[in-house]
Chain A
Amino acid sequence: MQTKQNLSWKIGGEAGFGIKSAGMMLAKIFMKTGYETFDYTEYPSLIRGGHNTYQVMVDALEVNSVTREVDILVALNKETIDLHRDELNFGSMVIYDKDKISNIRAVKGINFLPIALTTLAKQAGGELMRNVVALGATLAVLEQPRNIADQVIKETFGSKGGEVIKNNLLALALGYKEAKKVYQEKFICSLPPQKKNNNILIAANEALALGAVANGLNFYAGYPMTPSSSILQYVASIAEKVGIVFKHAEDEISVINMCLGAAHVGARAMTATSGGGFALMTEALGLAGITETPLVIVDSQRPGPATGLPTWTEQGDLQFMLHAAPGDFPRIIMAPGDTREAFQMGAEALNLAEIYQTPVIILLDKFLSEGSSTVPEFSTHGLKIKRGKLLSQEQLNKLSKFERYKLTVDGISTRSLPGMKNGLFIANSDEHDSGGYSSENAQNRQQQVDKRAAKLQSFAKVMPEPVIYGHPKAKKTVVVWGSTKGPVLDAYRLLSKKQQSNIKILQLQYIWPLATNFVSNALRHSKQILLIENNSSAQLGQLIAQETGIIIKNKLLKYDGRPFFREEIIKALSKL
């Protein structure tokens, strides 16, 4: 029987069953075994009950997507088997709790492995550890040694004390031994140890936060909203240690105004939210624009509108970010395509915000935000704090007259900070003259609008180009942004060499300003274009049409709250 060196593992059960904990431990175990992992969780907006799943993809090569197909399904309740039965394929396995689940109808080619998870868990110290017993059974089926797993158990439960660690180690051992007893065949997935690597296991939320922390973040005001909350919680957890002022404020309107107050006096400020929270922030977004105050705002998207699907994924806010707030003013919009880019952009956004003295928006979504994946340890080598035209006291003293909003060719004026002598100005929500005084003068208004707009053009001239993967001269172009990068690249790697040679993938990392010429050229020289987006109205497609005149007719759109599964992309790419 042919084996494969990758795994799609999914555990399911009610909230409170330790689904996530088991999943994270499995991912860590395989990371330490030298594999790349990528995880994806589905959970309803509940604290207890409901149906939760945690899926871990394991591969020797980099993996940034999930398959619909599952090789091992761990069922802590019957509902899990019922709901995911059709994701199983020939050779797959279902490990289930035989103490709680009975009368499973056999399916040809699928291995059903009943393990007394409840009994064994109780033996180890408590029913709550059924997830760890199942983890042990999984590792036995995959013929993994136990040493790394034991190490991960110790690290995971380290803070809970010796008794808890002991019980969980026992739970793992019992599950392992039982599975070894009951299943002695060779499973379709074979995962021998790989060369050790210097990876970490991290989700885009924490990665982005780390990037910002590395590059000088020192003020964070926030308000929780799924799926951005782990950014808030992570920054809160390290704030005192690294010297960041952190405030959980009363609402999102307070959050953004607080960040602006801090940025105004010279802090590097950031906040994160989801679409609904951003909606509350929009007036202040415009305020940042007109006062030319730097600010970084992360929108981790989820299906909307209104409360929508709080715990699911979508790329539905792109058009919203482009247009949020009344009036015309410059904003920069970035969209990381994976965890590594999230780190880089978390750092870079703080620089861009200060250089162009304008709000910078970073778009994530639940799929990236809450999906941990293995990445090489982040390096701060090459990171540099760039504060743009921020004047020092010495420079201010040399000026005969300081004008905060002086008209310049590139649109960017010099900047003082409150506390500095000779630098007085008004950061004015009204339209204002070059000193910041409220002004209703017609010529001044036009000049200030043009000045602010010029800043965006200045950035457009120097911004990084969109990225091309595959064969640069290929005539079939697939257009992606944000989290569709992962599934598309993973699918591309599985195509035949011939198919690959005909396809290139165009990834837009900067949504605004749009690299109009680059995109235009890439698309005009294509014989076929496929746009892949996780929303119902092809929001990037609309932007491309608006800016280049090119209307992409061939679109793969998904908006059921789920991310693209690899199979869906493979099918679409094969049709090109």
Chain B
Amino acid sequence: MTNKNMLTDKDFLTKQKPTWCPGCGNYAIWIAMRQALAELNLDPHKVLIVYGVGCSGNDTNFIKTYAWHSLHGRTLPTAIGAKLANKDLTVIAMGGDGDGYGEGLGHFLHAIRGNVNVTYIVHDNKVYGLTTGQTAPTSDRGFKSKSTPEGTLDTAVNPIALSLAQGASFVARGFSGQAEHLKNIFKAAILHQGFSLVDVFQPCVTFNKINTFKWFFDRLYNLDEKKDFSKTNFQQALAESMIWGEKIPYGVFYQDQKPEYVASLTQLQGLALVKRPMKVRDITKLMYEFK
């Protein structure tokens, strides 16, 4: 029996047409996210998505929920602040790899430390797209671009290993070439009670001629289908996180239940902060210490 009030991905469309290049990996993320929200039956007005700055950030105009288009690299503090103030909202942060692992790397690690129930989707295309093709923190050593014409000397950030080492409670990788799988990972990440990272390989057809769809298809193997792999085994997850090159794992690396920040705050028991009546407080007792 179908529920007439069931949401579909179309309920999350705005009137704006996406402006990404044809073939961009962002389209799959866009569709997967809308489908995930619909299948989880989350009303658009109960969802807040915090966007970063970049091609992925332009998604702010294409998904119909409450939205905050943040500064470059600063999605996570904003998302955390919003969740703390209104724990009833589903809060999702969406940004690129330059945004999140370059400018925002510090905030990323600290967000993991707090384990606030926020879902973080990173559009990982290993290049700076919107600023027309510079090297990203996730570009492999030797990657040539307008900013590293001789090939970058830095090795790539490994967000999976970093987040595992820092104690993240949900760590996953998705791929724009596997939209159905991506949708399911999004759902799992949103449902997870804690900070969840989904790093999504999202090929940039215009500026990254190395890490293309084909490049990924040739290398990826799915941990969700790997024999003897358990997503609750930390050592296994760590080992898989270090694998890169001819073979690259994706899927859910690790999921565990750790104390979630909002649930641990005494003052947030009961009503969400912003739903409490706001009134002038009686400060008489507070002044005793100054007498």
Interface size class of B (residues with CB under 8 A): 35 or more
The number of chain A residues with a CB under 8 A from chain B is 67
Q: Which of B61, B77, B89, B276 has the most CB of A within 10 A?
A: B77
- Knowing A245-B85, A419-B86, say if A426 contacts B69 (CB, 8 Å): yes
Q: Are A266 and B86 in contact (CB under 8 A)?
A: yes
Interface positions, chain A 240-272, Cβ under 8 Å from B, are 240, 242-245, 247, 249-251, 253-255, 257-269
A466 within 8 A of partner (CB): no
- Knowing A210-B287, A216-B280, A380-B281, say if A258 contacts B78 (CB, 8 Å): yes
Task: Give the docked Cα–Cα distance between A420 and B65 (Å).
Answer: 11
- Knowing A245-B84, A258-B77, A264-B82, say if A284 contacts B89 (CB, 8 Å): no
Task: Give the docked Cα–Cα distance between A201 and B289 (Å).
Answer: 9
B142 within 8 A of partner (CB): no
B291 within 8 A of partner (CB): yes
Write out the residue numbers on chain B whose beta carbons fall within 8 Å of the beta carbon of A206: 290
Nearest CB of chain A from residue B23's CB, rounded to whole Å: 22
A445 within 8 A of partner (CB): no
B81 within 8 A of partner (CB): yes
Q: Are B78 and A437 in contact (CB under 8 A)?
A: no
Task: Give the docked Cα–Cα distance between A259 and B68 (Å).
Answer: 13
Task: Give the docked Cα–Cα distance between A387 and B279 (Å).
Answer: 11
Q: Are A261 and B85 in contact (CB under 8 A)?
A: yes
Nearest CB of chain A from residue B57's CB, rounded to whole Å: 9
Selected contact of B61 from candidates A266, A267, A387, A437, CB within 8 Å: A437
Write out the residue numbers on chain B whose beta carbons fall within 8 Å of the beta carbon of A239: 267
Q: Are A219 and B81 in contact (CB under 8 A)?
A: yes
- Which among B46-54, B164-172, B193-201 touches the partner chain? B46-54
Q: Considering only CB atoms, which chain A residue lies closest to B109 in the complex? A: A250
Instruction: Bits for B53-64, please: 1 = Cβ < 8 Å to A, else 0.
Output: 100001011001
Nearest CB of chain B from residue A104's CB, rounded to whole Å: 38
Count A-B pairs with CB separation below 8 Å.
190
B263 within 8 A of partner (CB): no
Q: Are A260 and B266 in contact (CB under 8 A)?
A: no
Write out the residue numbers on chain B whose beta carbons fall within 8 Å of the beta carbon of A210: 283, 286-287
Q: Are A213 and B85 in contact (CB under 8 A)?
A: no
Q: Are A242 and B281 in contact (CB under 8 A)?
A: yes
Nearest CB of chain B from residue A347's CB, rounded to whole Å: 8
Task: Give the docked Cα–Cα distance between A218 and B268 (Å).
Answer: 11
Q: Are A380 and B282 in contact (CB under 8 A)?
A: yes
Nearest CB of chain A from residue B240's CB, rounded to whole Å: 28
A61 within 8 A of partner (CB): no
B74 within 8 A of partner (CB): yes
Task: Give the docked Cα–Cα distance between A377 and B285 (Å).
Answer: 11
- Knowing A214-B281, A218-B278, A378-B287, say if A424 contacts B81 (CB, 8 Å): no
Q: Are A287 and B67 in contact (CB under 8 A)?
A: no
Q: Are A200 and B291 in contact (CB under 8 A)?
A: yes
Selected contact of B274 from candidates A265, A284, A428, CB within 8 Å: A265
Q: Are B78 and A267 in contact (CB under 8 A)?
A: no
Selected contact of A287 from candidates B16, B43, B70, B278, CB within 8 Å: B70
Q: Are A437 and B16 in contact (CB under 8 A)?
A: yes
Q: Are B266 and A427 in contact (CB under 8 A)?
A: no
Task: Give the docked Cα–Cα distance between A430 and B265 (Å).
Answer: 34
Q: Are A214 and B280 in contact (CB under 8 A)?
A: yes
A224 within 8 A of partner (CB): no
- Knowing A257-B77, A287-B70, A380-B282, say if A262 contacts B266 (CB, 8 Å): no
Q: Considering only CB atoms, which chain A residue lies closest to B279 in the complex? A: A385
Task: Give the docked Cα–Cα distance between A268 and B281 (Å).
Answer: 13
Q: Are B106 and A257 in contact (CB under 8 A)?
A: no
Nearest CB of chain A from residue B68's CB, rounded to whole Å: 5
Nearest CB of chain B from residue A173's CB, rounded to whole Å: 24
A429 within 8 A of partner (CB): yes
A525 within 8 A of partner (CB): no
Q: Could you list 10 further interchain pairs (A-B, Cβ under 8 angstroms) beyond the known A216-B279, A218-B273?
A: A214-B280, A243-B267, A247-B80, A253-B74, A260-B78, A262-B82, A268-B278, A383-B280, A426-B68, A438-B58
- Give B contacts to A, CB under 8 Å: 14, 16, 43-46, 48, 50, 53, 58, 60-61, 64-71, 74, 76-86, 88-89, 106-107, 110, 265-268, 273-274, 276, 278-283, 286-287, 290-291
Show 15 residue pairs from A and B whose CB-CB distance is below 8 angstroms, ordered by the A residue: A200-B291, A219-B85, A221-B77, A257-B70, A258-B84, A261-B81, A267-B85, A380-B280, A384-B280, A419-B66, A420-B45, A427-B67, A430-B69, A437-B14, A438-B61
- Give A contacts to B, CB under 8 Å: 200-202, 206, 210, 213-216, 218-219, 221, 238-240, 242-245, 247, 249-251, 253-255, 257-269, 283-284, 287, 291, 377-378, 380, 383-385, 387, 417-430, 436-438
